[in-house]
Every structure is written in C-alpha cells, then in structure tokens.
Structure 1
Amino acid sequence: MPRRDVEFQTTDHVTLRGWFFTPEKTDKKLPCLVMAHGWSAVKEMDLDAFAEHFTSHLAITCLVYDNRAFGASDAAPNEPRYEIIPSLQQSDYSDAITYAQTLDEVNPERIGIWGSSYSGGHVLFVGAVDRRVKTVMSQVPLTNGWENFHRLIRPDIVPTMNKMFADDRQARAQGKGAGVIPVVDADPMKPSALPTPDSYTFFAEWEKKSGWKNECTIRSVELLRANDPSHMISRISPTPLLMTVAENDVLTPTDISIEAFSRAREPKTLHIIPGGHFDGYTGSNFERNARRQVRFLEETLCA
C-alpha cells in the first residue's frame, strides 16, 4: 500500500514523525485511523503490518507515528529521551487527529484511534475526552496502572522500587540526568519495566532488527503506576469501542482488562484472542486479530 513519511507538531511544539498509509486508489476523502505503539515500542514493530492490512482491505487511511522521545520523533527541549508521560502521549493523540484532519485524503469528520498495550489504555482516555473520535480500538490495553504494577511487582520488591523513584526525584532536583531502567531483562527477577518472559522475548527479537533501545526512564515506571485510563471508559459511549484481549495475558492481565470493559457502555465489542500479550502481532493470530478489527471498522468508521 502507498506510504509516505510525515511529521507534525504537538501543542507544545514537539515534532512527531511517522507514516501515512492510503489504499492503492484514493479518489475521495476517506476515514483515517490514528495509530501509535505501546510501552517504548517504535512504529517499525508491526504497526506497518496493521496499517497495510487495514488499507488493503478497506477504503481507509492510517496515520502511524512514533511517540515523543522514541523512534523518529523528537523529545521536548531539555527533556530526556525514552521517557513515557501518559498525559502527554494522550495529548499527542489529539494533536495527531488535528494533523490528520488537514490531509487532503482524509475526511475530517471520520477519525478513529487505535492503540495497543500502553497506548491501548491511552485511547480509552482520548476516546472519552476528544469527541472528534468516531471509533476506539483498544488492543491488549493497560487499563489500570496501579493494579497492573502490583500484579507484576512482588510485594517485597515494592519498597525497593519506591526508594528508586524517590532517589530519582532527588537526583533530578539536583540537576542530574534522568535515571534509567531496562525495559526488559532476560532474568525476570532483575529490575525492569516489563518483568515478564514474553516481554523479553518480544523486545529482544526487535532489538536485533530495529532501532528500538532497551531503556526507559525510572520516572516512566513511577507514572505507569499512577496511570488509570479506565476511569474514563464509561464516558466513551456513544462512540463505538472494540477491546481486544488476549486470553492468557500476564503483562496487562486478562481479568483486569475484562473488568474495565464491563464498565464501558454500549456500543461496545469484546474480542478475546488466543495466546498472550504479544501473540496478536504475528502469524495466524495476527490474521484472526486483524480480520476482526477490519470487520469492526467496516461496521463503524467505514460504514
């Protein structure tokens, strides 16, 4: 499918970069799906596969971009790279919508949003507060950071994490650089942001073949614990919501996502796919996952 490089400015003047996908033939203004990746991931990590699938099966465009401070996108001046601030990433979705509305190929009244994992939670918030959004697609989302953090981190390790957060705040206040932590580690008992074996397998493979870096700031993990996008989920309605949940997800646990979904109002659709958190990105599970997402788009954004 045709794809071109794009860039746009956020409201705080940060340049975000990505790709704009269109079908082979575009003779009228089409709906647009705005897409960003999850925790520390970059657009090359299968977002192109989803966008190409959507634009080859539907009369739709896709705007795919790297989150600020990751991949091809800039960080804010004097701010560190590899820092993940949920409120800013949520705001960036709305700025991406504004940019998409300026594109010649896009119908500005038909914008949807797609997010996966951490950004799967972001779209729940954005879909509630930005009423330009006509469709919300949330894949294996982090819906409640507090519950998720305390599910992943053993209680006896939490005090060590709290000290790490406090020490990082003190260091920053003294003018030192942001403290960092690995995103993943081969040993799930060592400190990392995503301490599950399947997280290590997924990211270690991408580290070999992309520009992804195994690093995020300590502050990012502290802010993850405070991030609760599910408190807005009941306010998405009447915008249609599709939540895709993996039946054996141990990174953003299945039951936490389903509980959040239960609080959403109609119209809403729950799609449970086999496997774990990362299994919807590739192989036969990708086909099953993407096929259901195409049908949802046919019934909503592209109707």
Structure 2
Amino acid sequence: MAPEMIAFQTSDNVTIRGWFFKPSEPISTSSPCLVMCHGFSALKEMDLDVFAEYFTSRLPISCLVFDHRGFGDSDTKEGQPRHEIIPAQQTNDTSDAITYAQSRPDVQADKVGLWGTSYSGGHALWVGAIDKRVKVVLSQVPCVDGYSNFQRLIRPDFVANLNQLFQNDRLDRADGKPPAMLPVIDADPHCPSALPTQDSYEFFSGWAKKSNWQNQVTLRSVEALREYYPSAHIHRISPAPLLMTVAVNDVLSPTDLSLDAFCRALEPKSLHILPGGHFDAYSGPNFERNAGRQADFLKHHLI
C-alpha cells in the first residue's frame, strides 16, 4: 500500500513533510504508531520506507516517516539556510512529529514509539528520555557522544584549521554573509568533509545517483556535532523499553561508545549486535536479522 503524503507544522512554524504508512491489514480501530527519522543529512527515501513497509506488513502498526527541516521535502525556517543540522532543532521537530501522530484519529495516542538511526539514533535516545509520551525507543547504530565522535572522525592535524573555520563562519554570519558549506563526503580522505569514512562515501555516493540527496551541509552542522551529547539522559529513558542496535565494526558511530552508553541505560533494555559496519544495518544480509529483531521488540512492547 502506498504511503499517505503528510505535512505538519513545528512549534516554530516550519512545515515538515513525510509519509504515513498504515498497517497492511486494515483494522477497525486506531493503531500504535512508530515515528521514524534518518541520520546526518540523509533523506527518508534512503531505506526508511523499506523499514516502515517491513513493520507495517508484519504488525498492526503505523509508521510516520519524515524529512528533517532543511532536507528533502521539508521546509526550513525563513531566513535560515537549508542543509543545516542543529540537534536541538531536530529533536524538537521529532517531538512535534509525535504530536502530529497523536492528533490523528487512526493513531492510538498512548502507544507511540520512536525509531532513529545514526545521528537520529542519538535523537531517539534524547527525545525518548525527555518526552515521556514515547513508549518504546529503538536506537540503531546511534551517535551517542558528539564530542568523542568528532575526535574520532577528524584527524588531529585537521582540528586547528577546522576551529579557525568555525570562528570565521561565525564572524561572517554576524556580518550578514552566507554560511560556509562543507561536503558531507569526499573521495579524497585528505579533503575536508563532514563524514570522512570510506563506508560513508560509498553509501552516500550511491544514493546521490538515485535520489535528491545533496552533498553539502553547513559548516556549523559539524560544530554542532561536537557539542551534542545525545546519551546524556539515557538512564532516564526507563521505564520505557529500549532496543539499541550496534554494529560490531562501526567506525562512524564507534562501537565502543555505543556499548558504553548502553551500559548506562536502565532496564528494561535490549542490545542487538550486528556483524559488519555502520551502513550494513540498512540492507543486504543483515536487514532481515535487524528488522526482524526490531519487529519482535515492537510486538512485545508497543502492540
């Protein structure tokens, strides 16, 4: 069944657009809903529909999938740049997506779950801890500690120059100049990019050929990564159940950081460790193992 095209307003009047997937088997009453969002610069078309279709074809559940502000089909605030990733804005918008889901007559308002992956895997931890409307949290290959992630991703000899660029960008913006931009990926690892890993290059360059994804973010997006600590409140997700999915060879959202964060979460919690790297959670032989475990978790904790 084709998803419904939806739009909703954020608390600061930005239009967010996405898809609403209904259960494959029609039900006469409202159903639980899983709110889903993608990672750093990624669009809803980049496999989120595959997950949503998997869940709605196997469970009496609906899925709300949306593009972050400034990306894909969603608007950005007037006077603000597109392709800017400010975690506080994205987490607020995620809570607004929950509000939209609760407002629908076909959604069981007291059974809304949250699913996030990569950067939004961190958002799921943050929102799941502070927004107590969230009844279950599924966090897939999450960013859990932006400062440590930044230190792992950026070569030490690049940091001083990047700090200078951050300062220049702030001064330029204050002077009314447009924001500095940075590629998300670059084939040359010696060139500055937001996600300088080989698997990031392969994943995003593949999607660039078959989607509207654009290879740019504002420089401030990278500075904002360094200040973001999405697992700070992970122990406050409880008593909502948490499922964290971690890739054993993840170099983009380092495995050890995720495992350390998981240890700080309180029960009830479940850990699913997948073989491979960061992007192996989305497709290929890992998909059925990954999505199947998530569907089972939803069946037991949200349905």
TM-score (norm 2): 0.99
- Map of 1:253 onto structure 2: 254
- Please tell me the root mean square deviation across aligned C-alpha atoms, in Å: 0.6
C-alpha contact 1:139 1:245 (8 A) present in aligned 2: yes
Residue aligned with 2:11, SS: coil
| Count of matched residue pairs | 302
C-alpha contact 1:30 1:60 (8 A) present in aligned 2: yes
C-alpha contact 1:246 1:272 (8 A) present in aligned 2: yes
Q: Which runs of 5+ in 2 are unaligned?
A: none
**How far 1:164 sits from its partner (Å)?**
0.8
Mapped partners of 2:254, 2:95: distance in 1: 27
Mapped partners of 1:254, 1:111: distance in 2: 28
- Map of 1:237 onto structure 2: 238
Matched, 1:281 2:290: no
- Map of 1:208 onto structure 2: 209
Matched, 1:42 2:50: no
- Map of 1:267 onto structure 2: 268
**How far 1:26 sits from its partner (Å)?**
2.5
C-alpha contact 1:143 1:228 (8 A) present in aligned 2: yes
Read off the aligned partner of 2:215 and give its amino acid letter.
N
- Map of 2:159 onto structure 1: 158
Read off the aligned partner of 2:186 and give its amino acid letter.
D
Mapped partners of 2:90, 2:241: distance in 1: 22
Deviations 1:161-190 (A, max 9, x none): 101101110110110001100000011221
Mapped partners of 2:152, 2:4: distance in 1: 41
**How far 1:133 sits from its partner (Å)?**
0.4
Deviations 1:104-156 (A, max 9, x none): 21000000000000000011110011000000000000000000000111211
- Map of 2:120 onto structure 1: 119
Which stretch shows the higher mean deviation, 187-196 or 210-219?
Answer: 187-196
Deviations 1:80-107 (A, max 9, x none): 0000000010001110000001112100
**How far 1:2 sits from its partner (Å)?**
4.0
**How far 1:157 sits from its partner (Å)?**
1.1
- Map of 1:13 onto structure 2: 13
C-alpha contact 1:38 1:115 (8 A) present in aligned 2: yes
Q: Which runs of 5+ in 1 are unaligned?
A: none
- Map of 2:300 onto structure 1: 299
- Map of 1:67 onto structure 2: 68
- After superposition, where does 1:76-87 map in structure 2 within 5 Å? 76-87=77-88
Mapped partners of 1:110, 1:100: distance in 2: 10
Read off the aligned partner of 1:171 and give its amino acid letter.
D
Mapped partners of 1:93, 1:44: distance in 2: 18
- Map of 1:147 onto structure 2: 148
Residue aligned with 1:188, SS: coil
C-alpha contact 1:26 1:105 (8 A) present in aligned 2: no
**How far 1:283 sits from its partner (Å)?**
1.5
